[in-house]
């Protein structure tokens, strides 16, 4: 039998929090400050994700949610605009650091592309909500808090005041989508499955070899 969708959505956020806790234990306890080369690589990879994961999947979600759901569509539109701003903030910071902040010049590493595929591929708004807003962005909050600890003061301030500040409301958008649509047992199982896959992908892309990911991105053109 399906669980009440409000309870189910809360349960999924709690599960995502557990995953975030596991990432904290496995990866984010390492507070080695980033070298400038790694900072630039990390900011480029993050700039890519703000656009490809932040803007494009919610755009798809917006098209799939019926026009009658005005409030939900407006909230997701706001999210999409904030994500584009995050992309711009990182692009500007890269230029300040003397690096290339042009998104089209960044050649994503396979970890970036894997994350994008697993966030964009879905054909329903609730699968995207599971992958992006609920599991992705809950874990992202832990990731950004960690980044703030290892970045230079100016980059950390931008991450905290211009980016992290919006993430809580994005997670809430995911909760609202699940409350609205995750009303059958089949959908609820699917949401759990997407959540598990997303966590696995995050571990693969940004897990233990996190610094290796930054080093790979360092070698990329742009």
Per CB under 5 A, which region of 13-21, 163-171, 185-193, 195-203 contacts Fe ion? 163-171
Binding residue (CB under 5 A) for Fe ion from 38, 44, 93, 170: 170
Find the shortest distance in angstroms from Cβ 2 to Fe ion. Answer: 28
Distance (Å, rounded) from C-alpha 118 to C-alpha 94?
Answer: 27
Q: Report the site for Fe ion in 7-26 (rule: CB under 5 A).
A: none
Distance (Å, rounded) from C-alpha 153 to C-alpha 4?
Answer: 44
Binding residue (CB under 5 A) for Fe ion from 86, 93, 175, 198: 86
Q: Provide φ and ψ at 165, rounded to 5°.
A: -55, -25
Cβ atoms of 40 and 94 within 8 Å: the answer is: yes
Question: How many chain residues bind Fe ion (CB under 5 A)?
Answer: 6
Count Cβ atoms within 10 A of the Cβ of residue 204 and give its class: 0-12 exposed, 13-18 middle, 19 or more buried: middle
Calculate Rg over the CA atoms of the chain. 17
Nearest of 109, 108, 115, 113 to residue 200 by alpha carbon: 115
> Which x/- pattern, by CB under 5 A, does the window 106-145 give for Fe ion?
----------------------------------------
Find the shortest distance in angstroms from Cβ 170 to Fe ion. Answer: 4
Per CB under 5 A, which region of 42-50, 89-97, 147-155, 200-208 contacts Fe ion? 42-50
Residue 54 within binding range of Fe ion, rule CB under 5 A: yes
Residue 83 within binding range of Fe ion, rule CB under 5 A: yes
Residue 175 within binding range of Fe ion, rule CB under 5 A: no
Per CB under 5 A, which region of 14-22, 143-151, 165-173, 186-194 contacts Fe ion? 165-173
Residue count (the chain): 222
Give how far Cα 188 sits from Cα of 17, 57, 121, Å: 18, 20, 18
Nearest of 47, 40, 51, 46 to residue 152 by alpha carbon: 40
Find the shortest distance in angstroms from Cβ 79 to Fe ion. Answer: 6
Nearer CB in complex with Fe ion: 76/187: 76
Q: Report the site for Fe ion in 189-218 (rule: CB under 5 A).
A: none
Nearest of 11, 19, 2, 1 to residue 175 by alpha carbon: 11
Find the shortest distance in angstroms from Cβ 64 to Fe ion. Answer: 19
Distance (Å, rounded) from C-alpha 91 to C-alpha 113?
Answer: 19
Per CB under 5 A, which region of 32-40, 54-62, 174-182, 191-199 contacts Fe ion? 54-62
Residues forming the site for Fe ion (CB under 5 A): 50, 54, 83, 86, 167, 170
């Amino acid at each position: 039998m399906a669980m009440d969708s409000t309870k189910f959505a809360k349960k999924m956020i709690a599960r995502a929090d557990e995953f975030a806790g596991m990432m904290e234990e496995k990866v984010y306890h390492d507070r080695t400050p980033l070298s400038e080369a790694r900072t630039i690589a990390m900011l480029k990879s993050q700039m890519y994700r703000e656009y490809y994961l932040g803007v494009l999947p919610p755009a798809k979600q917006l098209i799939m949610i019926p026009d009658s759901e005005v409030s939900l569509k407006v909230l997701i539109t706001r999210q999409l605009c904030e994500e584009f701003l995050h992309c711009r903030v990182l692009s500007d910071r890269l230029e300040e650091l003397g690096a290339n902040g042009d998104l089209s010049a960044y050649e994503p590493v396979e970890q970036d592309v894997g994350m994008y595929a697993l966030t964009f591929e879905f054909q329903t708004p609730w699968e995207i909500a599971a992958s992006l807003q609920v599991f992705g962005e809950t874990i992202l909050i832990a990731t950004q808090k960690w980044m703030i600890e290892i970045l230079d003061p100016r980059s950390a301030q931008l991450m905290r005041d211009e980016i992290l500040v919006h993430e809580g409301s994005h997670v809430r958008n995911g909760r609202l989508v699940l409350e609205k649509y995750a009303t059958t047992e089949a959908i609820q199982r699917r949401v759990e499955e997407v959540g598990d896959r997303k966590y696995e992908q995050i571990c693969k892309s940004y897990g233990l070899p996190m610094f290796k990911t930054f080093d790979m991105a360092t070698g990329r053109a742009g």
